[in-house]
Homo-oligomer: A and B are copies of this chain.
Amino acid sequence: MSTQTTQDARTISNTPFEANGRQYRPSAQPIVVVCIDGCEDAYLNAAIVRGRMPRLTEIAAGGYRGMARAALPSFTNVNNSAIATGAPPSVTGISGNFFLDPNTGEQKMMNSASYLRCGTIFAAASAAGRKVAVITAKDKLREILGHEMTGIAFSAEKANQTTMAVHGIENVEQIVGAPTPEIYSADASLFVLRAGVSLLTEGLADFLYLSLTDYMQHKFAPEAAESLDFYEAMDTEFGRLLDCGAVLGLTADHGMNAKHDADGLPNVIYLESLLHDQFGEGAQVICPITDPYVLHHGALGSLVMVHLDDSSQADSIGRWILSLDGISDVFDRESAATKLQLPADRIGDLVVMSARDCVIGRTAADHDLSQLSGGLRSHGGRYEEMVPFIVSEPLDAQYAAQASGDVRNFDIYEYTCNGVHA
């Protein structure tokens, strides 16, 4: 790592900018937002009471710590897109990691920037003169988040494959001083944080988004030794970011709950099978949690889309689904679009959520449970909607008053940019 010292604040642009109807007025300090993927608040609490997160404890006492409402479905792409734009899914167009394309009838990953229906905060910040860096754990997110942005955008997963032309940076391993991590690891997230510290230290960026992966949270409960070690290691990096003079915002894309019985067997509702048995073949279930990395959750989450050949049956089929044990909510397309702020053309005729301890699958054959011997922890529904929302400095009077309301996780850049001026 270079011995260069932290950049001089006077070199940082404090030009205000606008994105999706919101004004951002960043100070001439580095702004760093971390999306701690799958950070159910319990992980922070378990580590804090054991003295494992001293820097976060200081932030929570001296800055602001509250809870925010994530976007539903409480999945990764949905919420990273919302955070990156400051806008709900009805504006971003990103309704899942995976969806049924209404134009083609095909099932597709929603990993491409072509699906994004609005600009990002990062593009606007870079246009306003900020040195922007977006670092993700999984490469799948990089393209969406780096959309139309000038600056640095790369993933930990492919850190050893960056080029100046595509990623705005090269020799990442050398800059960070660590090898490209295995994606199914704590290191995949820690590498992202360490890379953020390195970019700040090197003066390569002053407006950062660090998006981690929830592999650890899918695997381990909050009080597990592995989780405590992981959160302690994150705390060290949060401290380094603060020591670089950053305003630090911490939030999450979704929470995380155990979805198995006391014997560790997953509680799964195979909804497409049940619908076919009850109503015939005219219903298709899409699991929007599906992404290229399903080892740790088997593509089982707590929200699915149900597409019907005959939409006029939505009401009666919806009622039947709601009557099933383990189902918490059923919205029709119209209600889901308004109440959950979803893009109506990229959801099912029905949007179905399951209980705190239950997931919804398609058919038994569609899901590989062989890797879930330690039990299943997952997300996607109502009970993974609330996430931590933390700012490293005290909020000013206006934002302190606002924070008593229905804060969203995708307000985090507004709070870190506008909310902490003295």
The chain A residues found within 8 Å of chain B, CB to CB, are 41-42, 45-46, 48-50, 57, 60-61, 65-67, 69, 221, 258, 260-264, 322-323, 327-329, 335, 338-339, 355-357, 375, 382-383, 386, 398, 401-402, 404-406
Contact = CB atoms under 8 A, between A and B. Distances in A.
A225 B312 CA distance: 56
Contact of A67 (B42, B48, B382, B405): B42
11 contacts: A41-B41, A42-B66, A45-B60, A45-B65, A48-B49, A49-B60, A258-B405, A262-B405, A263-B401, A322-B339, A328-B339
Contact of A61 (B49, B65, B261, B405): B49
Nearest to A326: B406
A83 to B, nearest CB: 19
Given A66-B42, A67-B42, A322-B335, A406 B355 contact: yes
A210 B203 CA distance: 57
A210 to B, nearest CB: 23
B401 A262 contact: yes
A353 to B, nearest CB: 11
The 10 A-B pairs of least Cβ separation, nearest first, read: A258-B404, A357-B406, A49-B60, A262-B401, A49-B61, A356-B406, A357-B405, A262-B402, A50-B61, A49-B57
A73 to B, nearest CB: 16
A401 B262 CA distance: 5
Nearest to A67: B42
Q: From DSSP, what is the main secondary structure of chain A's interface residues?
A: mixed
A292 to B, nearest CB: 28
A211 to B, nearest CB: 24
Contacts of A383: 386
Contact of A356 (B61, B69, B221): B69
A221 to B, nearest CB: 6
A61 B17 CA distance: 45
A405 to B, nearest CB: 5
Contact of A398 (B66, B262, B398): B262
A38 to B, nearest CB: 15
Contacts of A46: 60, 65
A295 B66 CA distance: 27
Nearest to A405: B357
A60 B65 CA distance: 19
Contacts of A323: 335, 338
Contacts of A406: 355-357
Nearest to A57: B49
Contacts of A401: 262-264
Contacts of A262: 398, 401-402, 404-405
Contacts of A355: 406
Given A41-B41, A69-B356, A404 B221 contact: yes
